Amino acid sequence: MRTRLITSSIDRSTPGQSPFTNDIRKGISMSEQLRKEKEQLFLNAPPLHQAQIKVKKPKHKYGEKPRCIGIFKLACPEMLFYQYLPIKLKDRSSIVMEQRLAFALELINAAREDFAKNIGDDTRYYIYITAKSMYQFPSNTFNRPGYHSDGFLTDDINYIWSDCCPTVFNCTDFKLSPDDVISLKEMEEQADPELDFSYKNYSLLRLTQYNIHRVAQIKRPCYRNFVKISFSKDKYDLEGNSINHLLSYDWKYQMRKRTMERNIPQQLNQGVKL
């Protein structure tokens, strides 16, 4: 009976064909059908909702390196001192400032272009300029000594530039408390001096709150040009900040007094998640 069954199967096939060819073809046909059914299900499936797609955002940490925008060899023709002078108001687009600050216009334009490309539209931001062209000495630098962070606990963006004595950064993996006073002590305690570094003179750098830095140690008196361009959604209302008399703005608030401690430029220091 078994021989007959095999012979019968062979007889039903075409000459020179394996008796199992028809079965194999059936298997291939079924696989092809399943594949087509799966493709159809995939094509007919509703699109994934955006909330279902989890995108991992890069986690920032204190001790990151700033971004170098470029080299700008500029010079200021006169000595000057401006501290957080507003040059663009929120919901405005034009820059308004005194002629003596025209030397920094190339820096301002480069900063705005970089901001628009990497951060977003600056329409809803105030723009401030800090410009200091003057002599500094080993015992009296432009800014207070010690490691710190510009815009600590904020989303403010700062661009800095100088023609000599470049700012010193530190890329230690800092673990900082969300406190203005305690964090300064932690920066000093945790900073590894071997991880200090600086950029070339005339470099325009983009800083976030995650770039820990300090002023350079001045060995001998020198004439230095320094510019900082700040983008913030907040009003910098600290007493002593420069007032732009060419701009029409009415900030009705009581300016806060400066102290010997750290002076935060804005009144409301809106924190971000660490």
pLDDT tens readout for residues 65-81: 999 999 999 999 899 99
pLDDT over 80 at 178, yes or no: yes
Supply the DSSP symbol for 205. E
Q: How confident is the model at residue 204 (pLDDT cuts 50, 70, 90)?
A: very high
pLDDT at 76: 93
Rounded to an integer, what distance in angstroms lies between the CA atom of residue 214 and that of residue 68?
17
User: What mean pLDDT comes out for the span 51-78?
Assistant: 83
pLDDT tens readout for residues 126-155: 999 999 999 988 877 767 779 999 999 999
pLDDT over 60 at 189, yes or no: yes
pLDDT at 237: 81
pLDDT tens readout for residues 2-50: 433 333 333 434 444 444 444 444 544 555 666 666 555 545 555 544 4
Tokens representing residue 181 in the block: 């006073």
Side-chain-side CA neighbours of residue 194 (13 Å): 0
pLDDT tens readout for residues 219-249: 889 999 999 999 999 999 888 889 999 998 8
Surface-to-core class of residue 81, CB atoms within 10 Å of its CB (0-12 exposed, 13-18 middle, 19+ buried) = exposed
Rounded to an integer, what distance in angstroms lies between the CA atom of residue 131 and that of residue 104?
9
Tokens representing residue 88 in the block: 């663009």
pTM listed for this prediction: 0.74
pLDDT tens readout for residues 251-266: 755 556 655 555 566 6
pLDDT over 90 at 103, yes or no: yes
Run of H or E residues at 7: helix 2-12
pLDDT at 31: 59
